[in-house]
Amino acid sequence: MEFLKTIKTIVLTFLIQPFLFAQQGMLDSYIREGITGNLALQQKQASYEQSLRDLKEAKGLFLPSVSLNARYTLAQGGRTIMFPVGDMLNGAYTTLNALSAIHNLTDPLTGNPISFPQLENQEFQFYRPKEHETKIEVVQPIFNSKIWYNKQIKSDLARAKLADADAYKRHLVAEIKTAYFNYLKSVQLNKLIDNTKVLLEENLRVNEKLYANDKVTIDNVYRSKAELGNLGQKKAAAIQMQQNAQAYFNFLLNRPLDSEIITDESLSLPVITSTPELAKDTALKSREEIVMLQMYSKAADKNYRLNRSSKFPSLTGAVNYGYQGETYRFTGNDDFMLASLVLRWDIFSGLQNDAKIQRARLEKKIMGQKQQELEASIALEITNAWYALQAAFQSAASAKIQVEAAQKAFQITAKKYEQGQAGMIEFLDARTTMTNAEENLIISQFGCHIAYAGYELAAGLYQY
């Protein structure tokens, strides 16, 4: 009876032992830790922050640019400019002098005869030997369609980068959930092996006792030892699986690979509150990949408009105020101011702009096709995930029925074995059937959680 009590205790422990853990509080805590610490997600977020800097730079093009420019020049040689002042005036002066002599014209002040001098042609260097110029220049774009479209493109690209980071975040959540449930599954499989080991050790003890009393032959003892050895191999494989699952889960959270994973045991299967049709509608509104492609499509459209706007002129205003002279002086006699409007209109650019327009039009078309393809792909993904989830639940339900039947059959066989009404082979066969059924139940029920994480990802149901 002692052997039968041990079996009942082990079976009862397994029946009340939760196979699955909801751990929503603990799991949500791990998800938040993963979102904060995951290195790949940090790179995505850094890329988004960089796009915000690009957008800020694009907005800055609308503002005036102010610069201070100072120049001091020492010059020697260079071009010489001839000013023929003598050639221009000497002839006239000679004629005037002749008229003055004929009419005896005199200077009223001095009384001397009026005489005009003969002038030499003048030469001077184009570059002054010394010169400085210090000025403040203000340049303000007045009309430039390229600047406006560039800002719109940068805005769309920034939103696309944000959607890309959010899309990775959603995939990371699903990956963390899957890794967490895989770890818990390995823990439960190890517990099952430990429970089975207790059962086999008790079987070995009973067989050794029966053999000592000449009630069974020695082969029963050897068979019990062989079963324990086989279980030892399964235990080694289960430990390795648990260690791998633990390392991968901690890797996702950017923690030391051997960090402890806390499990909060409470049985709870996921509740399905959506249908594939509703899930598709939800996904088309919440999946970040669609938002990302929409933003890229808008950016392609703006790029097309930008290239078309190259046919329009641009207008820029500029104001300069500063000082010039041969020596550094900042007086009212040395200052100057210039104000100008600059109109630029590219009339012909070797058909380069037409090629850019055609390329932008094709990019816009491609982005539209990619968006349609993505929507169809998401619909297919949701359908496959839904069928996988239904199959997982059906498998878990069948596995539960199988476990209950296998456990009852084993209890009956164990009782018959203890009373000598069943052989060793029959007992081990019943035990193996029960263990396999319990292992299948663990895998099936955790498969429900993993399948739901995939469906949740496809439908965009998780709110982070």
Within a domain: 135: no
Instruction: Answer yes or no: is 107 within a domain.
Output: yes
Residues 25 and 117 in one domain: no
Q: What is the pLDDT of residue 266?
A: 66
Q: pLDDT value at position 419? A: 77
pLDDT at 23: 44
Q: How far apart are CA 439 and CA 451, in angstroms?
A: 18
**DSSP designation for 422:** S
**DSSP one-letter code for 65:** E
Average pLDDT for the chain:
84
Q: Which of 45-59, 113-127, 238-252, 377-391 has the lowest mean pLDDT?
A: 113-127
Mean pLDDT to the nearest integer, 450-454: 92
Q: What is the pLDDT of residue 145?
A: 87
Distance CA 32, CA 258 (A): 19
**What integer is the mean pLDDT of 30-58?**
90
Residues 53 and 121 in one domain: no
pLDDT reading at 392 higher than 90: yes
For residue 243, which of 292, 190, 194, 299 has the smallest C-alpha distance?
190
Q: Considering the domain boundaries, does residue 122 fall inside one? A: yes
The mean-pLDDT minimum among 210-214, 349-353, 449-453 falls in 349-353
How many whole angstroms from its chain centre is CA 328? 56
Give residue-wise pLDDT tens across range 318-337: 999 999 888 888 888 888 99
Q: What's the mean pLDDT in 416-439?
A: 84
Mean pLDDT, residues 227-235 taken together: 87
How would DSSP label each residue in 76-106?
-S--EEEE-HHHHHHHHHHHHHHHHHHTT-B
Domain-located, residue 192: yes
pLDDT at residue 440 tops 90? yes
For residue 235, being part of any structural domain is answered with: yes
Q: Is there a single domain that holds both residue 85 and residue 61?
A: no
Do 100 and 175 reside in the same domain of the chain? no
pLDDT (0 to 100) of residue 321: 93
Sign of CA pseudo-dihedral 107, 110, 111, 112:
negative
User: What would the 3-class secondary structure string for 334-345 be?
Assistant: CEEEEEEEEEEC
Pick the more confident residue, 274 or 397: 397
Structural contact between residues 131 and 270, judged by C-beta atoms closer than 8 angstroms: no
We report the CATH number of the domain holding residue 20 as 1.20.1600.10
Q: Is 77 left (phi over 0), alpha (psi -120 to 50) or beta?
A: left
- Say yes or no: 220 and 283 in one domain: yes
Count of structural domains, the chain: 2
Note the pLDDT of residue 63: 85
Residues belonging to the chain: 464
Q: Pick from 292, 293, 344, 342: which is nearest to 146 by CA?
A: 344
- Rounded to whole angstroms, the Cα distance separating 208 from 129 reads 117
168 and 270 both lie in a single domain: yes
Task: Choose one of 99, 126, 153: the last residue of a domain.
Answer: 126
CA atoms of 96 and 329, how far apart (whole Å): 43
Query: Residue 169 is part of which domain span?
Result: 2-65+144-313+349-459
Statement to judge: residues 108 and 244 lie in one domain? no
The residue type of 5 is: K
Q: What is the mean pLDDT of residues 260-286?
A: 78
Position 330 in a domain: no
The answer to the question of residue 61 being in a domain is yes
**pLDDT, position 265:** 63
| CA-angle at 304, arms to 301 and 307, nearest 5° | 150
In degrees and rounded to multiples of 5, residue 275 shows phi and psi of: -115, 160
Indicate the residue type of 112. Answer: N
In this predicted structure, the answer to whether residue 193 has a pLDDT above a threshold of 70 is yes
Burial class (CB in 10 A: 0-12, 13-18, 19+), 61: middle
HSE, side-chain direction, 13 A CA sphere, residue 146: 13
Regarding whether 259 and 112 lie in a shared domain, the answer is no
pLDDT at 428: 82
Residues 375 and 455 occupy one common structural domain: yes
Q: How high is the pLDDT of residue 453?
A: 92
pLDDT tier at 9, thresholds 50, 70, 90: very low
Q: Which amino acid is at 323?
A: Y
Is 389 a domain residue? yes
pTM score: 0.74
Task: Retrieve residue 416's tokens.
Answer: 């018959």
Clarify whether residues 101 and 199 are in a common domain: no
The pLDDT of residue 11 is 44
Instruction: For residue 21, name the pLDDT band (cuts at 50, 70, 90).
Output: very low
Q: Say if residue 122 is in the same domain as residue 163.
A: no
Quote the pLDDT of residue 264.
64
Backbone torsions φ then ψ of 135, nearest 5 degrees = -150, 155
Indicate if 414 and 440 belong to the same structural domain.
yes
